[in-house]
Amino acid sequence: MEFQRSESGRVAPWRWPDIHERRSRAERRSRYHVREDVAASFARAFARAFVIAVIAWLVVGIAHAAADVGPGSAPRMEFTPLRAGTYRLQSIQPVGEATLLDERGKPVKLSSLTQGKVTLLTFFYTYCVDPLGCPFLHETLTQLRTRLVADPALAKNVRFVGISCDPTHDTPDVLAQFATSFHGNSPFEWRFLTTPAVPALLPVLTDFGQDVSVEVDARGRPSRTLHHMLKAFLIDTRGTVREIYTVAFLQPEVMLNDIRTLQMEQLKPRTAGSP
């Protein structure tokens, strides 16, 4: 028998109510530990499931990144394009002169490709895979070309010009191979240009307001430009930039109407004092 000492110092047998109370506390502690064990098990299971989900997400993301996801979709137009000829495009700036290299490695004056026809000029990398970058741009231009060639009288007075942002990689030989993906059997004029080196490219980028960072090689020499903004420049037959398209406005219908507007402007008789 167990004994307990009373406040008076006498020893008396352990009372039954205290024994029941002690058992009750032990049972509560036992149930508490069971709940703790269940909660811990659930937490461990949740942590394992979370880790597995993260790993699966990373694997899928890497697989998608490695795959050719193709061009991105054009942003939905939140407006109705104006009808061609019902508006006037402002003169933004003249295009500066520069010497570039064409797909055959032949020097070409930029003015020879920004005058005489309405020109849509862009900057690109041959190896760009950003769905909303160069692939999206070239897919948009391909759609626009399809609309242009449906009107031969218009198409013969329009050209596309692309200038590489990486002359170190995008040599004339690389451009010649790259161009085969776009030329096909179409007689439409679509030119791809580069420069001998980055220093020759930088003034062109500056002229078109393309803010870029410059990557250098181990010797500190400029090797390529990075982070250019996706833009397309609409240039009239006199070599003046008349519109600049960002992603939201790179819509074939919008650009086609602007090209038609410039053509109509060209056909209008000029009055004294008109630009």
Using a cut of 0.75, tell me whether the model's pTM lies above it: no
> Poorest-confidence range of 21-30, 75-84, 110-119, 153-162?
21-30
In the prediction, which pLDDT does 204 show?
A: 95
In the prediction, which pLDDT does 234 show?
A: 98
Interval 101-128 mean pLDDT: 96
In the prediction, which pLDDT does 212 show?
A: 79
CB burial of residue 92 (10 Å; 0-12, 13-18, 19+): middle
In the prediction, which pLDDT does 77 show?
A: 60
The contacts of residue 168 (CB under 8 Å, 6+ apart) are 197, 198, 223, 224
In the prediction, which pLDDT does 103 show?
A: 93
In the prediction, which pLDDT does 80 show?
A: 81
Fold of 93-267: Glutaredoxin (3.40.30)
CA 262 to mean position of chain CA atoms: 29
In the prediction, which pLDDT does 253 show?
A: 94
Residue 208 in this model has a pLDDT that exceeds 80: yes
**How sure is the predictor about 185, in pLDDT bands with cuts at 50, 70 and 90?**
confident
Tokens at 23, concatenated: 């058992």
Do 214 and 200 meet the contact criterion of CB atoms below 8 Å apart?
A: no
Cross-strand bridge partners of residue 257: none
The contacts of residue 134 (CB under 8 Å, 6+ apart) are 124, 125, 128, 230
- Residue 102's SS3 state is coil
What is the secondary structure of 135-155 as a DSSP string? HHHHHHHHHHHHHHHTSHHHH
Residue 166 in this model has a pLDDT that exceeds 70: yes
